[in-house]
Structure 1
């Protein structure tokens, strides 16, 4: 490394600068005036400006070292204001000289220093509210004044390389690239938690069943990444329904069986939990399937946990299909295209080759892809075969039918024609879970989030028949609570599935489907009449109840009455199932596990209705009720609870 030049006195500094400029002019004039013969002579000195500089340095080392150092600093300072004015300012300055504005920056001179200090704005401390915004790192904010440049100085500066080399030697001037934030346009359905309702004022609760499991996979993905899930991503009914329970199978040709159990609540003394469980029938023989894979191949799908994982997941699913099943693949990315004509599932290599050819790139045109997918499903229609479009996407629908209402109407119309729609979500960052849920609900299908190959195994292999073969459509649940025995109640979860009371008997109102072998669990928390746990006061001016009606209600052993409506697949008229909710009913099998998971979800949502119940309490209840766990799903849940407990501290 070169040693530092001696610090010149002010007078010597000015003299050195003048000497350097004079030598530059002399060298340039002599270069222009010397004839061709002289330049070719072997006895001539060093050629050009650089050679002249070398000679100058050799002959007058001490003075010129100081002069050239000062000149380099002045040249740099003269150019830097130009650099901060935009890309074209430098060329303008070199061609026509610096502007007056650039030539008059603020003067800053460090004490006892011969070489002027170049001040760089490096402060990163918080600014006062009225302080000006700092310049980007590496941009000079104060400098020594630039000398007035004479004609030809800009050209000489360019020839000497005084700009770029100097900037390169000054490490602090090198701009640092700003970090590019990761895109995060995730959207989740927004719904307020179900409130506590007074039975005497509002005794009827109505909702659509839900067999989706996407919420559990999303929160697992968040927790294993070290973050708590967004509260809107936590849907308690999907968490509870992620796990299987020992519900008895239906009998007598019914599509599903209904069970009701009652147990004490672990989080509020004096309250009870009512568990409603549905168990779908498993057909003796699975019907043939016409499956259209609608694959999002837009640019946002290029990550490893999106399109590559999607291909692996479909490979697993393909192994469960037979020669009687038909498969087609439609893509959407800028424009829709059918990359695989309807093909028997037994032609595995043909299907796999089409999958392998899929690449991510382009914008997203979901509507165009949906149209071609449904048209393909119509072409594949066969008697006795189940038709289903399986949409695989990261949830990004930004081209096509962008208005959610119109998109829902389009899917609902296709649903009425007999083609179901299921949605598989992949990846995070721009996951539009709200749209995925809406599409699946309107398409009479299920929504699942695939974050690992193990989850693909669960959804597309272990539960394939339930995911693809419907046994009941538009399944609705309505509970009427007995005000003589139940003072208050609240439904835990199902906020996005709420229905109006009059929707229950209206067969035109859509609701969820149950697939073959599917289970559905719903939990109510109730406060018995006379319990100290009641959260609301009785009304002073409540309507009078006749003594006979009150006596009948009190003498009844019914906490409430359960009604359930469903349609057989393809039918337009619903059927009704009714059953009383008895006060002396015992808890259902594995009820404590469902309660532990429901409590876990309420803690993640920050519920104020569970008292001092903690994540440690949820973990203890889950460990005590884990039971048989052949695939490790319940052990994984306990691990996730422990992660959440640590992240909440």
Structure 2
């Protein structure tokens, strides 16, 4: 009788047979051969016959036997993706300026600013595929990032800057106007700068390790070192968990020694910023140059975690050193832990400017192309105040400068700190105005008094009265500059304005759009890019062309 054996039993039998054969072979190699057992006593083995070969059709239907593979006792879980650390970046918070009725608040006062950090930081966000946080966008810093070909003061001018005011129609509301106030500082040749006593204060804490932080700062300082003259002096101070004088004051023509000291800066440890700032100022005082430039250049992500970390206490420290004649410029780097609020505050009270370095090209712009503007101050504590005429202007709003607001009384108070203007710097401010008789945004007071346009007021044709206060470097008493802004017969169309004015309006519009402002209606990236494209003349470094690309990119990122 023939037994049919299943494929599984056949495979099992073959495995057993192979195992026994292997054991017997091993034993034959280790012991004498055993005698064959007697037939009577030999155990009987069941005879297993192979099943007949299946037909081709059956072979297709019968699966091949599978070998059972036992799983290991422990199977490691697949690795989970590491989430990026939560952002702790800090930006100064503020609300957009509201409209003001001239009959109730005719005077607007603010401090000048030449900070540009917001633009470079916004660019970093966009190049990484994200729109910037609202509070990272400061319209005036976007506008003042660009150079404008404003008329410079005459060589024998009484003031170190020239002022110009222009009025055009608003591109987002034809019934309204835009008033541009432009300030152009006297330019100085690099060779004619006073001798500079500089202290590079570099954060070398662990958070500065990434390529876009300390390595970028080292490259930036190398660029600045190449611009130094023999009469300049440089010291280098670093801070992490502790502080260190990396290089004592060294003449600017000893570039090899300065470059070598910069190359020794490596990241690691905590962030004892307060002690670093104190040590840097001590070095600056030790090398103080009378009638020269005495400045600390702070390069950091602002992530302080040892010693005094309060912004107000650090502000007091920097403010005290400013009064002793040593200023501070802040060069910010970093992203997720970046403390821009601190960087901007220290630069503002330190009589310096704030810049953000997102690329080496930006460092070249700030420290090479604009070296004289960054280091040499021609006017200190510059304040602007404008009084609008209610006969011609019903409402106004200043675009930007929310963090530079001053009271009407502070304009005449020489103890109040304000912005400093460097050699060749330009300052641009834009007001949007609603003429008297047009539809406004604020209800008038019931008992407010408004002059009639037909009155005998001798200033009836003046749109506004502009005043500026500033101090000569090192002086305690301010000087006053004032001039009228007269109204033309009609506001010229923006298309007829010069390229600089048109481009400044495009940048201001983009800043408002990025902040989600409702003041510009449906005016968005398409119109802004077109306006900027037509105003790209004189784009020596390609900054305006880059702006146009960023505007288009931001429009694509909007959800």
Q: Which TM-score tier does this pair reach, normalised by the shorter chain?
A: 0.7 to 0.9
* C-alpha distance in 2 between matches for 1:255 and 1:611: 39
Structure 2 match to 1:490: 397
Structure 2 match to 1:535: 441
Structure 2 match to 1:612: 522
Secondary structure of the corresponding residue to residue 525 of structure 1: strand
Tell me, yes or no, if structure 1 residue 227 matches structure 2 residue 130: yes
Residue 614 (structure 1) shift? 1.7
Residue 538 (structure 1) shift? 2.6
Structure 1 match to 2:168: 263
Question: Judging changes above 3 Å, is the alpha-carbon distance between structure 1 residues 283 and 628 closer, same or farther for their aligned structure 2 residues?
Answer: closer
Q: Deviations 1:257-280 (Å, cap 9, x if unpaired)?
A: 111010000011200000000000
Secondary structure of the corresponding residue to residue 557 of structure 2: helix
Runs of 4 or more consecutive aligned structure 1 residues displaced over 6 Å after TM superposition: none
Residue 235 (structure 1) shift? 0.6
Among 85, 94, 97, which residue is 1:182 paired with?
85
* C-alpha distance in 2 between matches for 1:5 and 1:359: 68
Question: Judging changes above 3 Å, is the alpha-carbon distance between structure 1 residues 555 and 244 closer, same or farther for their aligned structure 2 residues?
Answer: same
Is the contact between residue 275 and residue 588 of structure 1 (CA under 8 Å) also seen in structure 2?
Answer: no
Is the contact between residue 298 and residue 328 of structure 2 (CA under 8 Å) also seen in structure 1?
Answer: yes
Residue 400 (structure 1) shift? 2.1
Tell me, yes or no, if structure 1 residue 558 matches structure 2 residue 462: yes
The within-5 A match list for 1:97-496 is 166-168=72-74, 170=75, 174=77, 176-177=79-80, 179-251=82-154, 252-253=156-157, 254-283=159-188, 285-496=192-403
Among 557, 575, 593, which residue is 2:503 paired with?
593
Q: Deviations 1:513-538 (Å, cap 9, x if unpaired)?
A: 00011000000000000123x22233
Residue 244 (structure 1) shift? 1.1
Tell me, yes or no, if structure 1 residue 624 matches structure 2 residue 534: yes
Question: Judging changes above 3 Å, is the alpha-carbon distance between structure 1 residues 575 and 273 closer, same or farther for their aligned structure 2 residues?
Answer: same
Structure 2 match to 1:635: 545
* C-alpha distance in 1 between matches for 2:147 and 2:186: 14
Tell me, yes or no, if structure 1 residue 582 matches structure 2 residue 486: yes
* C-alpha distance in 2 between matches for 1:418 and 1:616: 47
Residue 498 (structure 1) shift? 0.8
Residue 394 (structure 1) shift? 1.2
Q: Deviations 1:125-182 (Å, cap 9, x if unpaired)?
A: xxxxxxxxxxxxxxxxxxxxxxxxxxxxxxxxxxxxx9xx8433x35xx263462423
Residue 384 (structure 1) shift? 2.5
Is the contact between residue 209 and residue 475 of structure 1 (CA under 8 Å) also seen in structure 2?
Answer: yes
Question: Judging changes above 3 Å, is the alpha-carbon distance between structure 1 residues 373 and 552 closer, same or farther for their aligned structure 2 residues?
Answer: farther
* C-alpha distance in 2 between matches for 1:304 and 1:324: 33
Q: How many residues align?
A: 486
Residue 360 (structure 1) shift? 0.1
Question: Judging changes above 3 Å, is the alpha-carbon distance between structure 1 residues 495 and 176 closer, same or farther for their aligned structure 2 residues?
Answer: same
Secondary structure of the corresponding residue to residue 105 of structure 2: coil
Secondary structure of the corresponding residue to residue 399 of structure 1: coil
> What are the ranges of 5 or more consecutive residues in structure 1 without an aligned counterpart?
7-41, 44-161
Secondary structure of the corresponding residue to residue 465 of structure 1: helix
Residue 183 (structure 1) shift? 4.4
Structure 2 match to 1:65: none
* C-alpha distance in 2 between matches for 1:316 and 1:175: 47
Question: Judging changes above 3 Å, is the alpha-carbon distance between structure 1 residues 292 and 546 closer, same or farther for their aligned structure 2 residues?
Answer: closer
* C-alpha distance in 2 between matches for 1:563 and 1:552: 24
Question: Judging changes above 3 Å, is the alpha-carbon distance between structure 1 residues 561 and 177 closer, same or farther for their aligned structure 2 residues?
Answer: same
Residue 545 (structure 1) shift? 5.0
Structure 2 match to 1:517: 424
Question: Judging changes above 3 Å, is the alpha-carbon distance between structure 1 residues 5 and 332 closer, same or farther for their aligned structure 2 residues?
Answer: farther
Residue 229 (structure 1) shift? 0.7
Q: Deviations 1:308-363 (Å, cap 9, x if unpaired)?
A: 11111111111111111000000010111101010011111111111111100000
* C-alpha distance in 2 between matches for 1:326 and 1:195: 47
* C-alpha distance in 2 between matches for 1:167 and 1:601: 61
Secondary structure of the corresponding residue to residue 73 of structure 2: helix
* C-alpha distance in 1 between matches for 2:84 and 2:542: 36
Tell me, yes or no, if structure 1 residue 644 matches structure 2 residue 557: no
* C-alpha distance in 2 between matches for 1:167 and 1:476: 76
Secondary structure of the corresponding residue to residue 87 of structure 2: coil
Tell me, yes or no, if structure 1 residue 506 matches structure 2 residue 413: yes
**Where is the helix percentage greater, Structure 1 or Structure 2?**
1
Question: Judging changes above 3 Å, is the alpha-carbon distance between structure 1 residues 527 and 175 closer, same or farther for their aligned structure 2 residues?
Answer: same
Question: Judging changes above 3 Å, is the alpha-carbon distance between structure 1 residues 5 and 583 closer, same or farther for their aligned structure 2 residues?
Answer: farther
Question: Judging changes above 3 Å, is the alpha-carbon distance between structure 1 residues 531 and 341 closer, same or farther for their aligned structure 2 residues?
Answer: same
Higher RCO (Cα < 8 Å, 6 or more apart): 2
Question: Judging changes above 3 Å, is the alpha-carbon distance between structure 1 residues 416 and 570 closer, same or farther for their aligned structure 2 residues?
Answer: same
Secondary structure of the corresponding residue to residue 182 of structure 1: coil
Is the contact between residue 390 and residue 451 of structure 2 (CA under 8 Å) also seen in structure 1?
Answer: no
Please, what TM-score do these two structures have when normalized by structure 1? 0.72
* C-alpha distance in 2 between matches for 1:193 and 1:315: 39
Please, what TM-score do these two structures have when normalized by structure 2? 0.84
Question: Judging changes above 3 Å, is the alpha-carbon distance between structure 1 residues 166 and 419 closer, same or farther for their aligned structure 2 residues?
Answer: same
Structure 1 match to 2:476: 572
- CA RMSD, 1 decimal: 2.1
* C-alpha distance in 2 between matches for 1:249 and 1:589: 17
* C-alpha distance in 2 between matches for 1:412 and 1:568: 18
Secondary structure of the corresponding residue to residue 504 of structure 1: helix
Residue 402 (structure 1) shift? 1.5
Residue 385 (structure 1) shift? 1.7
* C-alpha distance in 2 between matches for 1:474 and 1:273: 26
Residue 210 (structure 1) shift? 0.7
Secondary structure of the corresponding residue to residue 167 of structure 1: coil
Q: Which moved more, 1:585-594 or 1:322-331?
A: 585-594
* C-alpha distance in 2 between matches for 1:271 and 1:553: 24
